[in-house]
Copies of this chain bind each other. A is one copy, B any other.
């Protein structure tokens, strides 16, 4: 599975009995990330069987409580669980000071190292990269400094066209690495076998964009262009669009406009205001603009496999 996204919480503002603040567990190309960490996230992780030890990177969009107040509890629990591996935390400036002060006051001497990556840029930047995945910020516009995050699989090697390769006795297994990397093959006669003859296109790398919280911000479109899955907040319906300016949130319609303009595969809505008891209306509103819309619901998993099939 290229992408597996588990919704641990998708409601705005205060935790309630059946409404959990934002947190998501993302598995992409065998990397495991936690995105936002509202109060109660560690309990949700246990409930939905997210392996604590798998996570080495936590991304915090902004320091409002419904995206952040569960972080200190999770970090503290890692200490109790005797974690030893480094844990990387990405979030706005201040996240280091607040976390370290809490750990100091509770005298929680965690044995593992917390590596803070404090963010302050207003431009999209690469903040994580390994051989499998790259993560970029998506500058958003909210009441406090906020970033979304774009998770992109690294391009995969080309697929070997073995039937064609076998036509050439000179090509050995040890040559496959270069061929998969796109190189032509030069025969002993000097003749060049073009790479296109020896390989087929690899699966297109998958990508996921997380955008919460933000008011309508069309200039993010070039950053998230063509992502397979976009999560975009939709706190209000259009009828309450006047509240978006004050609270710096979006409507379902605005989220759909972003999805359409960025030509994404699937739009997932979330961060619903507590005033809405039935959230189906968010989907209906968004679908007037963009067809492929799903609603985030706590406990739900969205997957996107190698052949580009989206499953909800």
Q: Which residues of A contact B (CB under 8 A)?
A: 13-17, 39-40, 42-43, 46-47, 63-65, 68-70, 72-73, 76-77, 80-81, 92, 94-95, 97-98, 101-102, 105-108, 143-144
For A98, A105, A108, the residue with the greatest tally of chain B CB atoms inside 10 Å of its CB is: A105
Count copies of this chain in the complex.
2
**Can you list 7 A-B contacts with CB-CB less than 8 angstroms, sorted by A residue number?**
A14-B76, A15-B43, A17-B43, A17-B46, A94-B105, A98-B98, A98-B102
Assess whether A144 is in contact with B68, with CB atoms less than 8 Å apart: no
Chain B hits for A68, CB < 8 A: 106
Nearest chain B CB to A63 CB, angstrom units = 5
Nearest chain B CB to A221 CB, angstrom units = 27
Residue of B nearest to A68 (CB): B106
| A39 and B70 contact, Cβ closer than 8 Å, known pairs A65-B76, A102-B98 | yes
Assess whether B72 is in contact with A65, with CB atoms less than 8 Å apart: yes
Nearest chain B CB to A213 CB, angstrom units = 12
Chain B hits for A14, CB < 8 A: 42, 73, 76-77, 80-81
Nearest chain B CB to A298 CB, angstrom units = 13
Bound: A105/B98 CA distance, A: 8
Chain B hits for A77, CB < 8 A: 13-14, 65
Assess whether B106 is in contact with A144, with CB atoms less than 8 Å apart: yes
